[in-house]
Amino acid sequence: MFIVAVTGGIASGKSTVSMIFSEKGIPVIDSDVIAREIVEPGSKAWTEIREHFGSKVFNSDSTLNRKALAEIVFNDAEKRRILNGITHPKIQKKMFWELVKCFFKGYQMVVVDVPLLFETRKILSYVDKVITVYCDEETQLERLQKRMDMTEEEAKKRIAAQMPLKEKCDMSDFVIDNTGPRENTKEETEKIIQYLQSLNLHWENKLRMFLLSLAILVFLGVTLGGFYLLLAGKLKVSK
Ligand SMILES: CC(C)(COP(=O)(O)OP(=O)(O)OC[C@H]1O[C@@H](n2cnc3c(N)ncnc32)[C@H](O)[C@@H]1O)[C@@H](O)C(=O)NCCC(=O)NCCS
Ligand SMILES: Nc1ncnc2c1ncn2[C@@H]1O[C@H](COP(=O)(O)OP(=O)(O)OP(=O)(O)O)[C@@H](O)[C@H]1O
């Protein structure tokens, strides 16, 4: 299975690009959605956030008060590091299992939409191609304020918490400029999808399937062999 990462800065247009992949029947795993799932009331992350940040970052119905937590972590790098330490391993684990599900469903290609791909690097290790969705700073600030109903100061702080967008572009296989109208972005994205689909992934996918099956067989062999030896040892002792 070929894994394509869509990354970029906050509000640069990742969801806009991911949606175009989705319209072509390519599944999209969105880390922002997973980040919300793992903090549901009673979850491990929810409990750890409560321990570290206190009840002030929760609503009366026990759900996370995202605005209150954002106010803390985007004004304090150390607190952000603590929150990332709680959430990121759980997001990465859930993303990994979502990928495994896609693999067994037989998808040839899957997209992971991860804003902090280069900042955290973990998911980067199993991604085949990276697309960075770029837009100029002025447009990013304007779209962010509009979409999240933020003040200019809040928006600037959120942008500053991420790696500069230009640096992400330099490290990517493809860059989509989403500064202009949506039609341009759609056209650029469709060209990339066409290119990715034209790559002869057939043999690569077969090889991966073979290696995965081999790994499963070795695992089963070692486990069953271990049990057999354990059982045989016990039988000898009991004689
Ligand atoms: C701080 C929280 C509660 C704020 O929630 P809010 O609803 O305001 O934002 P939302 O989750 O929709 O995120 C919007 C965007 O903010 C940016 N962002 C979110 N968390 C971070 C972070 N820790 N560092 C830098 N940018 C971040 C991303 O670009 C993301 O797409 C939330 O973002 C969170 O739990 N963050 C930690 C988990 C995380 O890193 N998520 C990003 C996906 S891996
Ligand atoms: N080309 C465009 N022209 C005008 N508005 C756009 C364009 N692309 C995206 N937008 C708008 O900008 C905002 C951010 O876009 P989008 O949600 O795709 O970004 P994102 O990178 O996924 O954001 P996030 O970092 O929150 O996940 C949205 O309100 C969207 O409707």
Q: What is the pTM of this model?
A: 0.88
Give the ipTM: 0.96
Superfamily of structural domain 2-199: P-loop containing nucleotide triphosphate hydrolases (3.40.50.300)
Residue 113 CB contacts under 8 Å (≥ 6 apart), including other chains: 5, 6, 7, 14, 15, 18, 28, 29, 30, 31, 32
Measured from the CB, is residue 116 less than 6 Å from ligand 1?
A: yes
Token couple for 155? 């928006």
Q: Residues 130-182: pLDDT tens digits?
A: 999 999 999 999 999 998 888 999 999 999 999 999 999 999 999 999 999 99
Measured from the CB, is residue 132 less than 6 Å from ligand 2?
A: no
Which residues share a beta bridge with 5? 112, 130
Measured from the CB, is residue 173 less than 6 Å from ligand 1?
A: no
Q: Which residue has the higher pLDDT, 104 or 23?
A: 23
14 CA → ligand 2 middle, Å: 7
Measured from the CB, is residue 24 less than 6 Å from ligand 2?
A: no
